[in-house]
Amino acid sequence: MSAKIIDGRHISEQLIEEMAQEVKERMAQGYKQPGLAVVLVGDDPASAIYVRNKIRSAEKAGMLSIVKRLDESCSQQALDDVVSELNERDDVHGILVQLPLPKHLSEERIINLIKPSKDVDGFHPMNAGLLSLGQATLIPCTPLGCLELLKREMGDISGKHAVVIGRSNIVGKPMARLLLLANCTVTVVHSKSVDPAKLCQQADILVAAVGVPELVTRDWVKSGAVVIDVGINAIEQEGKRKLVGDVNFNDVVDKCQAITPVPGGVGPMTIACLIKNTLIAATLSDN
């Protein structure tokens, strides 16, 4: 058996095109152009690339894009002031502060400062709480992107046994909750789990989101499973820098029904779902 490679880039482009049409239609009806503001602190090259990709996707979808740049040495108060100003702007429907922040700045404080209605990352405690109750409208982008890939690949996933490796607040926990809401049977595997490989072998759907390069090998994977690899890890291989996932792709690819590559799998979907959340936030602001 040879697995289908799930093309996250292609699917994300489809989503952006769909949202561009929605934006065009809502503006034709007299509604405001959806606006996404991204705050970038410092000049980390990886963060700069992420921000550029997010802004490019917002513009492809016909949205207003705003970038606020601050020096790496900026004070907490200066960052707070920028976020507070964006909270009050009528032309900004979504606010994203690019993480990680420099160590002297509090990520928790900034996440809590963003208005829940503009929290397009879905990290605010109010949005996290609503998700736990099955009532959230702004859901963390990476889990949302994973769910979109699963539904497009598998259709109805009700009744499937899903195993999530990792329990972070950003991916693992919200992913498990979304799968529960989709009527899966869900197991969460973490650093204290006994015999994690045996637990993963039971999965119809395996989502790896733990940040350990190529942790998942073929003896962890059930024959015919769908594997979603969230990990993005930089390693040195034959003297070159290479990006790999949490799954050993070459080792498991012939055992799966379908699998996401790294890069080109979940990453583009995360950005597409950020744009989707911005559109949702804009729509809610109309009501």
Give the model confidence (pLDDT) of 75-121 as tens digits.
999 999 999 999 999 999 999 999 999 999 999 999 999 999 999 99
pLDDT mean across residues, the chain:
95
Is the Cβ–Cβ distance between 189 and 128 less than 8 Å?
A: no
* pLDDT at residue 2 is higher than 80: no
The model carries a pTM of: 0.94
* pLDDT at residue 162 is higher than 90: yes
Per DSSP, 191 falls in state T
pLDDT in tens, 201-250: 999 999 999 999 999 999 999 999 999 999 999 888 878 888 899 999 99
Is the Cβ–Cβ distance between 164 and 142 less than 8 Å?
A: no
Which whole number is the average pLDDT over 262-285?
96
SS3 129: helix
Which whole number is the average pLDDT over 135-154?
95
Q: Which element (helix H / strand E) includes 25? A: helix 8-28
Helix ranges restricted to H, 220-262:
249-252
Given pLDDT bands bounded at 50, 70 and 90, which one contains residue 1?
low
pLDDT at 150: 97
Given pLDDT bands bounded at 50, 70 and 90, which one contains residue 190?
very high
Which whole number is the average pLDDT over 37-45?
94
Residue 170 CA to residue 173 CA, distance in Å, equals 7
Given pLDDT bands bounded at 50, 70 and 90, which one contains residue 3?
confident
Q: Which element (helix H / strand E) includes 200? A: helix 196-200
Specify whether 4 is catalytic. no
pLDDT in tens, 67-80: 999 999 999 999 99
Which whole number is the average pLDDT over 165-193?
97
Q: Tally the C-alpha atoms within 13 A of residue 279's C-alpha that lie toward its C-beta.
A: 27
Long-range pairs, 212-215, Cβ under 8 A, ≥24: 212/246, 213/244, 213/245, 213/246, 214/244, 214/245, 214/246, 214/247, 214/248, 214/249, 214/251, 215/165, 215/246, 215/247, 215/248
pLDDT at 240: 86
What is the biggest distance separating any 2 CA atoms in the chain, rounded to whole angstroms? 57
pLDDT at 28: 96
Closest listed residue to residue 37, CA positions, set 284, 287, 285, 278: 278
**Binding residue numbers:** 166-168, 232
Specify whether 121 is catalytic. yes
Domains identified in the chain and CATH numbers: 31-115 (3.40.50.10860), 141-267 (3.40.50.720)
**Binding residue numbers for NADP(+):** 166-168, 232
Q: Tally the C-alpha atoms within 13 A of residue 259's C-alpha that lie toward its C-beta.
A: 28
Closest listed residue to residue 1, CA positions, set 256, 247, 226: 256
**Among the options 4, 33, 77, 98, which is catalytic?**
98
- Name the residue with tokens 């809502």: 26
Angle at 275 between CA 210 and CA 144, to 5 degrees: 35
Note the residue count of the chain: 287
* pLDDT at residue 264 is higher than 80: yes
**Among the options 4, 7, 32, 54, which is catalytic?**
54
Specify whether 103 is catalytic. no
SS3 121: coil
Which whole number is the average pLDDT over 35-60?
94
Which whole number is the average pLDDT over 28-51?
93
* pLDDT at residue 9 is higher than 70: yes
**Among the options 118, 119, 121, 255, which is catalytic?**
121
* pLDDT at residue 44 is higher than 90: no
